[in-house]
Structure 1
Amino acid sequence: MAMSMSQKLTLGYAALVGFGGLMGYLKSGSQKSLISGGISAALLYYVYTQLPVNPVYASCIGLGLSAALLGVMGTRFKKSGKVFPAGVVSVVSLIMTGGYLHGVMRSFH
C-alpha cells in the first residue's frame, strides 16, 4: 500500500525530531535531548502507523505532540536565536500542527 502525504510528512518529522535529539546529545551531552527526542520520534512513528487505520486518533496525538514541540522549541529559539535545531523544529512543528489540526477538523465535516 502506498503511503499518504500525511504519513510521509509524519515520518520525516519523526526523523527530524529524533535527529535533533541525537545531535543535542552528541554536541552537548544532553541526555534530556536524547530522551525527549527519542520519545517524540517514537510517538510520531506511532502516529505514522495509525494514520491509515485511525486518522482522527492519530491526528489528535500528532496535534498534541507538535503543539508541545512548537511551544518548547519556539521558546528555545526565541531565547537562543539558533536556527538548528530550535528554529527548524519550531517552523516544522508549526506546519505539522496545522496539518494535524486540519486532519482533526476534516472529521467534523
Structure 2
Amino acid sequence: MDLPVIVTGIFGAFVIFGGVMGYVKASSKASLIAGGITGGLLLLSAFLIARNYAAGIILGIVVSLLLVGQFGPSLFKKFKVMPNLLVVILGVITVVTLAASFYQ
C-alpha cells in the first residue's frame, strides 16, 4: 500500500476512536459527531487516494488542517497529550505526507 493511504487511514481511525472516547468519557455528543464526520472524511480520503484521485489528497489535507487548527490553539493554552498533542502531531504528519505525495 501507499504511504499516504496508510497515514491518512490511521489518522482517520484515530479521530473516530477519539470521538467515541469523548462520548464515553464525557457523554459528549459533539465529540462523537465531529469525530465521526472528520474521521469518516479522512477514511474517504484514504480510499480516494488508493484509487488515484487527486481529490482524496486535497480532502485529506483540508480535513487535517481543520483538525490541527481546532486542536492546536487549545494545546498551547493547556498542554494535554490526549487528544490535543496527538491530533496535532498526526495532523501535521498527514499534511506533510499528503503534500509530498501531491507534488510527486
Cα RMSD after superposing both structures: 1.3
Q: Find runs of 4+ consecutive structure 1 residues off by over 6 angstroms.
A: none
Contact 2:5/2:49 (<8 A) preserved: yes
Q: What CA distance in whole angstroms lies between the structure 1 residues aligned with 2:19 and 2:50? A: 27
Shift of residue 53 of structure 1? 2.2
Tell me the SS of whatever aligns to 1:81. Answer: coil
- Deviation track 1:25-72 (CA, whole Å, cap 9, x = no partner) reads 111111111100000111111111111223421100001000110110
The answer for the alignment partner of 2:35 in structure 1 is: 37
Task: Give the TM-score normalised by the residue count of structure 1.
Answer: 0.87
| Structure of larger gyration radius | 1
Mind listing any 5+ residue stretches in structure 1 that lack a counterpart? none
The percentage of counterpart residues that share the same residue type is 31
The worse-fitting range, judged by mean Cα deviation, of 26-35 and 97-106 is: 97-106
The answer for the alignment partner of 1:9 in structure 2 is: 7
The answer for the alignment partner of 2:98 in structure 1 is: 100
Task: Give the TM-score normalised by the residue count of structure 2.
Answer: 0.91
Tell me the SS of whatever aligns to 1:51. Answer: helix
